[in-house]
Amino acid sequence: MNDTPWIKSYPPGVRWDIAIQPMPVQQLLEDAAAAWPDHTALQFMGKGIRYRELDALASRAAKGLQQLGVGPGVHVGLFLPNSPHYVIALFAVWKAGGTAVNYSPLDAAKVLEHKIEDSRTDVLITLDLAALYPQMAAMLGKTRLKTLVVGNLAEMSAAPEQVAAQLKADKQTVELPDDARHLRFASLLDNDGNYQRHALADPHEAIALLQYTGGTTGLPKGAMLTHANLWSAVAQVIECCQITPPLLEEGKERMLAVLPPFHIYALTVNMLLGVRLGAEVIQHLRFEPRAALADISNRKITVFAGVPTMFTALIHDPDMPKYDLHSLKFCNSGGAPLPVELGSRFNELSGTWLAEGWGMTETSPTGTFTPAVGQRKPGSCGIPHPGVTIKMLDLEDATKYVPLGQKGEMCIKGPNVMKGYWNKPEATAESTTFDGFFRTGDVAYMDEDGFIYIVDRTKDMLLCSGYNVYPRVLEEAIYLHPGVREVAVIGVPDEYRGQSPKAFITLKAGAEPFTLQDLQAFLKDKLGKHEMVQAVEIRAELPKTPVGKLSKKDLVDEEERKRAAKA
C-alpha cells in the first residue's frame, strides 16, 4: 500500500520531503527587518510602519515586558483586536523569552477566568476599548491576573488626537485608573529597546503560544504550540508556493488582514507568513465587506485569507461590480468547509482561484492545501502539506488504519503538530494514536491521488463562521433556564455561517413558553457571541434512543427531511 499517494499530485517545484530547520519565531521579524528595513510592514488607520520600525517597537516592548518580570516560562496574555499592538506584542513576548496566550473577545467571563488561571497569566496586554477593557478589568482581584498593559487605537493611527476624540465621543473607549495594576502601552515602549536575549535550548520543546481550543466537556484546553511548530507551519506554506513562476514573491506582496488575530489561522497566515514574505500587511479592525473590496481594488492587494462567510459577503455585496479584484494572486479559505459553488463564483468575479485547506488549532493550523497548479478536486480539502503525513484510523478498531477510499478518523503527524495540551496529559494521550499520530476527530477518506474528503465528525462539534462550537456547552447553559426540562442542540445549515446552533426544548410542567429572543437574552452572559443559539423549537417531547438518551440523529434527520421538502 502506498503510504504517500499525495506526492504524485504535488505541482512541479514543490517538495513533500523538505528539510525544515526551526528557529525561534521572532527570528522571522528580525530577518525581515534586515532584508527589507524600509519596506512598509503594517498599514493601519492611515499610518504605515516600516519593518525597521516594527522590529524596534517589538524590542522596546520586550524590554518593557522584562521589566515586568517576563522571561522564559512566563505567560503573557494578548486580548487585542487586529491592530499593530497585536503584532508588536506577540513578537515582544517572544523576544523577552516568554510564551504568548491568546484570549478571545468572544469568550464568556467564566471562560476568560478559566484561561487566566489555567494558563497562569499574570500580565495581559489589551486596549482601552469598551468592547475589551471592562472584561479584563473585572478579572483583576478576581483571578491571578496582576497587571494590565493597556494601549489605544489612536496611538497607532495617522491622526492620534482626532481618532482619540472621535472614539471618546462615540463612547468606544473607557477611562483607565491610575494605579499599580495598570501600565500604558506607551510606557511599556518607553525605553532603549536593549532587552536581554534568551537562547532557546530546543525550538521543538519551547512553547511559543498557548492557543486555547474548545472541548466537549465545556472548558477549553490550551494547545502547546512550540517555536518549531509555528516556524514549520510558515515553511510549509512557503514551500507550497514554489511553483514556476513562484506564486508569492518576497518583498513584493500586499496582504489584507481582516481575520481576528486571536484565531490561529490569522496568526499564522496573516502575521507570521506576512512577515516571512516581507509583505505589506493592511490591517482592518474588523471585516466590513465594502472596506475590504475597496482596499483590494485600490491598494492592489495580492493575498487575502478569509473564511467562507467573508467570501460570501464579498460576492453578494451590491457594489461588488464596481471593484476590480484582479490584483489578487492567492486567496485562501479556511476555518470551515468551502461550498463548491462559492469557490466557482469567486473565481469568476476575481479571476483567481479560491484555495481551500484544512487545519486545526492543534496543527498550527496547517494540514492540507489545494495545489496552485495542476489537479484540483471540488469538494476536497486538498492534499497533505509538505512534511505532513495523514492516515485514516479504523472507526471500529483504533489499532489499525483503513485503506485508500475507506472512511476513517483523520490522523495527522508532522512538524506543525502541537506538543500536547497544556497540563492535560490525559487529553493528550486520548488524542494520540498507538503510533503517535494526532486524532483530529474528523471522519474522512483519501482517494488514490491523495486528496482528502471530510464527511463527518466523531466529536460533537459545530463549525460556525470558522469557530468551533460545542453543543454540550450550549446545552449546559440552556439547562440553567428555570423553565427548561430537556434540551438538545444540533447544527443546521446556514448559508452565511456554514452552521448555526438550533435548540430543541421541552418545558417543565407549568413553565411559560419563551421566544428565541427571550432565550438569547437569558444566555447573553453565559455564552460567547459565536456560540449563541440562532433558532429554537419548543416541543412536547424530544426523540429518544432505545436506552432513553436524547436522539440528536433523529432531530438531524427531521431537519434534513424538512429542507428536502422545501427544495
User: Where does residue 512 rank: exposed (0-12), middle (13-18), buried (19+ CB within 10 A)?
Assistant: exposed
Beta-strand pair 303-306/330-333: parallel
Length reported for the chain: 567
State the DSSP H helix or E strand holding residue 269, giving kind and residue range, or none if neither: none
The proportion of the chain whose per-residue pLDDT surpasses 70, expressed as a percent, equals 98
Encode 246-255: b = buried (16+ Cβ within 10 Å), e = exposed. ebbeeeebbb
Q: Which of 151, 223, 245, 241 is nearest to 189 (CA)?
A: 151
Distance CA 27, CA 435 (A): 33
- The answer to whether residue 217 scores a pLDDT higher than 70 is no
When mean pLDDT is compared across 51-60, 114-123, 194-203, 492-501, the lowest value belongs to: 492-501
Band the pLDDT of 71: cuts 50, 70, 90. Answer: very high
Bigger pLDDT: 549 vs 417: 417
Mean pLDDT of 370-382: 91
Q: Give the three-class secondary structure for 227.
A: helix
pLDDT tens-place string over residues 75-121 = 999 999 999 999 999 999 999 999 999 999 888 899 999 999 999 99
- The answer to whether residue 547 scores a pLDDT higher than 60 is no
User: Could you tell me the CA-to-CA distances from 200 to 57, 203, 223, 472, 538 in Å, in that order?
Assistant: 22, 6, 20, 40, 57
Residue 65 is which amino acid? L
- The answer to whether residue 339 scores a pLDDT higher than 80 is no
pLDDT of residue 252: 97
Max intra-chain CA distance, the chain: 72
Give phi and psi for 341, each to the nearest 5.
-60, -35
Distance CA 446, CA 455 (A): 11
Give phi and psi for 392, each to the nearest 5.
-110, 120
Q: Give the three-class secondary structure for 106.
A: coil
pLDDT of residue 120: 98
Grid cell in block for residue 156? 497607532
The beta strand positions in 192-288, using DSSP E, are 207-215, 218-226, 254-257, 280-283
Bigger pLDDT: 338 vs 237: 237
pTM of the model: 0.87
Residue with cell 503527524: 413
Grid cell in block for residue 61? 516592548
Q: Are 452 and 446 in contact (CB under 8 A)?
A: yes
- The answer to whether residue 341 scores a pLDDT higher than 90 is no
Residue with cell 504517500: 4
Q: Are 76 and 65 in contact (CB under 8 A)?
A: yes
Distance CA 380, CA 554 (A): 28
pLDDT of residue 553: 85
Whole-number average pLDDT of the chain: 94
Distance CA 376, CA 382 (A): 8
Mean pLDDT of 163-177: 97
- The answer to whether residue 518 scores a pLDDT higher than 90 is yes
pLDDT tens-place string over residues 392-422 = 999 889 999 999 999 999 999 999 999 999 9
Mean pLDDT of 443-467: 87
Distance CA 83, CA 85 (A): 5
Band the pLDDT of 546: cuts 50, 70, 90. Answer: low
The beta strand positions in 427-466, using DSSP E, are 438-446, 452-457, 462-464
Q: Which of 262, 88, 71 is nearest to 188 (CA)?
A: 88
Q: Which of 324, 390, 326 is nearest to 357 (CA)?
A: 390
pLDDT of residue 19: 95
